[in-house]
C-alpha cells in the first residue's frame, strides 16, 4: 500500500491533485502505467472517490493522465501525439492560476498595509531570509515562498481571503514546482519581495500594491507571450 502525505485542513480536491501530480512528476508512476483505481486511491489517501475523480479529471486536462473508459486511468506516454496540446494546456492553466493569485494578493497587501501593526510584521524579514537561503532547493523554496505570501494574506485580517488562499495554495504550489521542472528557475523577484515588506512597514498602500504586482506581473506577461507565440 502506497503511503501518502497527510492532508491539511481546507479544500480536498486541490490537495489530492497536488499529491497525484507530485507522484507523476517524481516518476513514481511510469509513462503508460495504469494507476490505481479511484476507490484504491481514495482509501489510501483517506478521501472520497469524488475528490479523486475530480483530481484525475484535472490532471487529464493537463495531459498527465489518460482516462480510458472501460480500462482505467493511465500515465500519459511521453511520446503521446497530444504532447504539444498538453503543454499548451499546462501553460494556460498556470496563467489562470497567476491571474487569480494576483487579484487575491493585491487586495490582501492593500488591507495588510492598512491593518498590520509593527508586531504583526516582525516575522516577515525572517521569512525573507529563509526564502533566500532555500533558493537552490526548488521544492523547499516554493514552500517557503508561499509561506511568506500566506503570512501577508493573514495580515489582511480578512478571513475570506485567508480561506481563498488556503484553497488555491496547493494548486499554486504544484504549478510552481511544475514550472521549475519544465522551464528552470523562477524569475528573480527578490527586490519586489523586499519592497513589499518595506511598504507594509511604512503602511504605504500604493507601494504595497505596486510591489505585489511587480512580484507576479512579469510571469503573467511571459505566459501570455508564450500563448501568442504558439
Predicted confidence (pLDDT) per residue in 41-56, tens digit: 999 999 999 999 988 9
Length of the chain counted residue by residue: 230
State the pTM of this model. Answer: 0.64
Q: Is the pLDDT of residue 76 over 80?
A: yes
CATH class name, domain 83-229: mainly alpha
Which is more confidently placed, 174 or 197?
A: 197
Closest CA to 167 of 24, 41, 8, 5: 8
Per residue in 181-197, pLDDT tens?
Answer: 766 777 777 899 999 99
- Contact (Cβ atoms closer than 8 angstroms) between residue 212 and residue 101: no
> What's the pLDDT band for 82 if we cut at 50, 70, 90?
very low
Indicate the domain borders of the chain: 13-75, 83-229
Q: What's the pLDDT score for residue 186?
A: 73
**What mean pLDDT is predicted for residues 95-99?**
83
Q: How far apart are CA 199 and CA 79, in angstroms?
A: 48
CATH of 13-75, one of 3.40.50.300, 1.20.120.80, 3.40.50.170, 1.10.10.10: 1.10.10.10
Amino acid at each position: 500500500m502506497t503511503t501518502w502525505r497527510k492532508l491539511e485542513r481546507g479544500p480536498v480536491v486541490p490537495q489530492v491533485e497536488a499529491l497525484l501530480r507530485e507522484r507523476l512528476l517524481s516518476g513514481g508512476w511510469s509513462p503508460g502505467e495504469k494507476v490505481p483505481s479511484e476507490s484504491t486511491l481514495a482509501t489510501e489517501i483517506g478521501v472520497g472517490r469524488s475528490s479523486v475523480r475530480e483530481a484525475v479529471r484535472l490532471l487529464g486536462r493537463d495531459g498527465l493522465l489518460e482516462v480510458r473508459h472501460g480500462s482505467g486511468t493511465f500515465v500519459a506516454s511521453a511520446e503521446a501525439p497530444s504532447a504539444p496540446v498538453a503543454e499548451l494546456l499546462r501553460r494556460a492553466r498556470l496563467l489562470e492560476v497567476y491571474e487569480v493569485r494576483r487579484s487575491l494578493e493585491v487586495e490582501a497587501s492593500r488591507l495588510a498595509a492598512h491593518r498590520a501593526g509593527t508586531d504583526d510584521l516582525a516575522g516577515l524579514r525572517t521569512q525573507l531570509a529563509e526564502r533566500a537561503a532555500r533558493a537552490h532547493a526548488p521544492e523547499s523554496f516554493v514552500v517557503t515562498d508561499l509561506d511568506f505570501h500566506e503570512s501577508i494574506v493573514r495580515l489582511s485580517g480578512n478571513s475570506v481571503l485567508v480561506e481563498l488562499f488556503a484553497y488555491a495554495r496547493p494548486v499554486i504550489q504544484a504549478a510552481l514546482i511544475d514550472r521549475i521542472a519544465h522551464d528552470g528557475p523562477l524569475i528573480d523577484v527578490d527586490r519586489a519581495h523586499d519592497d513589499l515588506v518595506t511598504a507594509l512597514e511604512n503602511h504605504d498602500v500604493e507601494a504595497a500594491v505596486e510591489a505585489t504586482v511587480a512580484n507576479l506581473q512579469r510571469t503573467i506577461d511571459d505566459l501570455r507571450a508564450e500563448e501568442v507565440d504558439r
